[in-house]
A and B are shown apart, each in its own frame.
Chain A
Amino acid sequence: MRAKTALRLAWRDSRTAAAKFAFVVLAVAVGVGSLTGVRGFSRAFRGMLLKDARTLMAADLSVRVFELPTPAQQRVFDTFTERAIGRTWITETVSMLSAPQLAAPILVAVKAVDPAKYPFYGHVDLAGGGPLPAALEGASVAVSEDLLVRSGLKDGAVVKLGTAEFTIRGVLTYEPDRMSGSVNVGPRVMLTRANLERAGLLQEGSRSSQRFLFKFPSGQADAMILTARKELVGVFPDAVIADYRETHPLITRGLNNATTFLSLVSLIALVVGALGVAMAMQSHLQQKMDAIAVMKSLGGRSSQILQIYLLQAVLLALAGGAVGLVLGAGVQKAFPILIRNFFPIAPNVEFEWVSIAEGLGLSLLSTLLFVLPPLLEIRQIKPILIFRRDMEGVPKSWGEWWVEQRASLGAGLLICLGLAGMASFLIDANWRDAARVGGWFVGGLIGALVLLAGLSWVLLRVLRWVVKVPGLRLPALARHGLANLYRPGNRAEAVLVAFSLGVMFTLTIYLLQSSILGQISASAPPGMPNVFLINITTADRDPVTAFLKTAPGVEGDVVINATAGGRLKSIDNVAQSETNLTGPAKRFLRARTVTWSREMPPQTQVVEGKWWKDGTPKEPEVSVLAEPAKILNLRVGALTEWELSGRRIYARVAAIHRNESVRPGAGAEFVFSPGALDSVPMLYFGAIRVKAAQISQLQKVSFDKFPAITVINLSDVLDRVQEVIDQVALVVRFISAFAILAGVIILASSIAGSRMRRVREVVILKTLGATRAKVAAIFSVEFLLLGLVAGVMGSLLAVAFTNVLLTRLLDAKFQFDWAPNGIAIFGSALIAMLAGWGASYRILDQKPLEILRDE
């Protein structure tokens, strides 16, 4: 049979099933829409990052480090100046801002710039419209609007930052490189470098990020940038270096991760939709069994008939894909609204061929994979069906069963492989990682589907059992409604699986989000720190420790940790660069954080060697955490060579240790002996527990005594964390809601598919005297039960998954909360009710005689 003929027959078959297939198209469209929306936005965002790279970086090239340049690095900068390459230096740090009218100091993100040069590209906008140099002139600063909103301060107010006082003389409404910056905790305070130094915030031991922006002579940027970048990579091996020819690496990494995650969430919606297509196709083929038998008796081969329905599936997938592309454009439009707090930008929504091909390709692939099992059943339809239906009951031998089922089992395997392939395709990683994660994703998804199928089977049987319990007199309407769940062709189990998968996923996201936040904000397992002190200088270390030990409200130990950053250069004179570290182990080739300690940190256990005792060992020593020791093959007695802030340090491994503590700073990988790091500039931070009511007081007193030290109240950071998590969760929920939508469409499709049976039932009920209200009540019970059961299943599995994820992966505790689960269950019932009546409300208007006459 020619393709044209098959297409014609497929079209003829489809035109009388338009309503049924409209649901199929919608079910496919939902998944495709969500997927193309996510990926289209990601592409548009990436395109915008590239197009506006100069503005978003405020430069042609930028280098970001956490230390001041060494003489060697400075020399490279000097050669740049000789080549007429413009340079400006930005320092970002966090600090405390105070004012007489404030009850407690506020955590702010400080940014020191040279307003004469900054920004090289783009512009800084101030509320009054004035120039930036004027706003930063003299002892003045510019602040972002949220600081004024949060503190109640006005433009012109006098504030104290570090040890100096400043006047607010400008309200920042836009900075071009805000996204490329590194310190975005708290409102912005912008000032000149001279003022930053005057505030005393840049002492040795302060934690700050240095960004160097470069502008190349116009017309020569392309030619010069490659050489300049090479030179910079040579002297700044640990820096984040970006130039305008690429998207910013940090933003790109975040974008890639987010795109991968949301794509996989969308794939769930696509799979739910494809399940719906498979269900619809199976019910369609069941209705067409006689027609297929007739075609076979007229000389049609199984392969020809399969071709007809395969083409039909292709047409449906393409139609669903096309509608999905339009829906995807809407999703793309919605994204900027969802993330506007972080990225106040709106990339252009453009239909690209790649997105179109990807959307149509994935819809086609998922649809074809899932319709394969029902299509293969065509081969089992015997033409003799026209004469004898009792053939169906004939028992089959194992051999016959295997011959019949092996194709279906093959199709099942193909579905798993196809899904893993699609997931791997959507994961932005090398093929090995993509295949691994794709495999896990599909394994989890299939596992969830099997679990849900089993659960729905059990729950439906429990309901059936309830109806039959002797002595239990359920109202007639409830009995009818319950019985309807087993109506032939109702496919309650499949509907429940599809619907509850969406509920489960969305609820899991919510439960994870609320559990993690709840955990952090309760802050607090007793004894865990809730106040952090940063930017402690070496000179301040002991006075701060003494102050904290006597400060009111401080509970437990006062621990000030010392850290420094640097690289492990060699082990026993074998250079690290020559070792074959792969995967996550490669992190040991980059800069690591090290510390020193006299005593063994709490909850530490030496598994090999000995901790130094009583004072300073003769030679520098180091104790290594067990995991890195294993990866680096470090043994006790090995000689390690380090480069720490430009200083070369040699230390022999004295011990290998384990640490069970979750206290910040406790899990240091490399702990040096006292005196070993004396020549290295250290960063100090403290983590203490303070009675909640006395935190503000501590901040105020600390600010008066040590104005350059930043005292961070965990709950302030949590507000920010909450905002971030809420925003992320909103995006995830938005996308995961598509899975629910796909489930709802399947539910509606299934109800619409059983319309004829319902019509006959309504007619009989009405003929026997049932009122319209009674018939409506019967159907309502059915829809409500479907929704409730789906909600219960989704909720049960969401609780189980969240529990496993929290306790096994995140090392957190799970606490059951009735409210979200109750909302999910009753919300599902309500949605099912709406979808059910949406698909069948006209049935109630059916006049009995019209149907009875036809019969």
Chain B
Amino acid sequence: MANPVLHPAVRVRELHKSIATATHTVDILRGIDFDVPQGQFVAIMGASGSGKSTLLGLLAGLDTVSRGSIQLDGEEITGLNEDSLALLRARKLGFVFQSYQLIPTLTAEENVLLPAELAGTAGSVGERARTLLNEVGLADRRDHYPVQLSGGEQQRVALARAFMLAPPILMADEPTGNLDTANGAHVLELLLNMNRKEGTTLVLVTHDPQLAARADRRIHMRDGVIVSDES
């Protein structure tokens, strides 16, 4: 059993990721090493194509590594099969995507409820979902479908969904990338407030220096390697 005191929330060692296409092999990540202590807010930065989104996907177990090791909360995830990874995500990870990724056929509340339903969580999940929607200021839009919500509102629903099961680790991929300045700032404030309140470890991918400035630590990537790691 993993011990939150002894283990970092995230530990990455010698991580490589290559993709073989029909004609050649592309090395996207070329040896990444870092740890993220419990409760830390880390911003991973880099230009487009630097490998930061791929890194985030691998950290969340959404894809398989080519080589190396990833531990989440002390648990090695690189050898796990797809179902074990899914169970691990349900238990330990929350996710916020750049393009919200709400299920278009579900209402706002149903989207928020989804992780609990997939995890088979019983009890007052409905109440928790409504509380979270209230926190993101969408209590009165809970019956609306994604298509009836603005981008900012959709991302706030995605935030509520990410916190639904109070995960110890939250991964965010350019959470404000698709939003205008005002909405972006609003979503960011909400994310950080909820993160503080829930005591979550936050790994956030961004190319926005202003957003990264709010983080406890900033990891810069270029061409698949870490070029700087500053607190």
**Chain A residues within CB distance 8 Å of chain B:** 1-2, 5, 8-9, 12-13, 15-17, 290-291, 294-304, 379, 382-384, 386-388, 390-391, 393-395
Contacts and interface: CB of A to CB of B under 8 A. Distances in A.
A299 B20 contact: no
Contacts of A393: 21-22
A299 B19 contact: no
Contacts of B87: 299, 301
Nearest to B147: A854
15 contacts: A5-B117, A13-B105, A291-B104, A294-B101, A294-B103, A297-B95, A298-B90, A301-B83, A382-B62, A382-B63, A383-B63, A384-B62, A387-B62, A388-B57, A393-B21
B118 interface: yes
Interface of B: 19-22, 53-54, 56-57, 60, 62-63, 82-83, 86-91, 93, 95, 97, 101-106, 110, 114-115, 117-120, 161, 165, 173
A395 B117 CA distance: 35
A302 B82 contact: yes
A299 B121 CA distance: 12
Contact of A395 (B22, B83, B114): B22
Contacts of A13: 105
Q: Which 9 A-B pairs have the closest CB atoms?
A: A299-B90, A384-B63, A383-B62, A16-B105, A300-B118, A299-B89, A384-B62, A301-B86, A301-B83
A1 B120 contact: yes
A387 B53 contact: yes
Contact of B110 (A12, A295, A303): A12
A295 B54 contact: no
A13 B111 CA distance: 12
Contacts of A382: 62-63
A295 B118 contact: yes
Contacts of A295: 103, 114, 118
Nearest to B94: A298
Contacts, number: 104
A299 B90 CA distance: 4
B101 A386 contact: yes
A465 to B, nearest CB: 25
Contacts of A301: 82-83, 86-87, 118
Contacts of A390: 19, 21
Which of the listed residues A8, A291, A299, A379 has the most CB atoms from chain B within 10 Å of its own CB? A299
Nearest to B28: A388
Nearest to A1: B120
A387 B161 CA distance: 19
Contacts of A290: 101
B118 A298 contact: yes
Contacts of B86: 296, 299-302
Given A304-B118, A387-B53, A387-B62, A298 B106 contact: no
B103 A297 contact: no
B115 A386 contact: no
A390 B17 CA distance: 14
Contact of A1 (B82, B91, B117, B161): B117
A847 B120 CA distance: 45
A1 B118 contact: yes
A295 B95 CA distance: 11
Nearest to A16: B105
Contact of B115 (A2, A298, A387, A391): A298
A280 B89 CA distance: 31
A394 B114 CA distance: 31
A393 B21 CA distance: 6
Contacts of A387: 53-54, 56-57, 62-63, 173
A53 to B, nearest CB: 57
A297 B105 contact: no
A131 B60 CA distance: 93
Nearest to A382: B63
A297 B19 CA distance: 20
B19 A391 contact: yes
Contacts of B53: 387-388
Given A291-B104, A395-B22, 13 more contacts: A9-B114, A291-B103, A295-B103, A296-B62, A296-B86, A297-B101, A301-B87, A382-B63, A386-B57, A386-B101, A387-B173, A388-B63, A390-B19
A335 B5 CA distance: 78
A175 B20 CA distance: 82
A393 B19 CA distance: 10
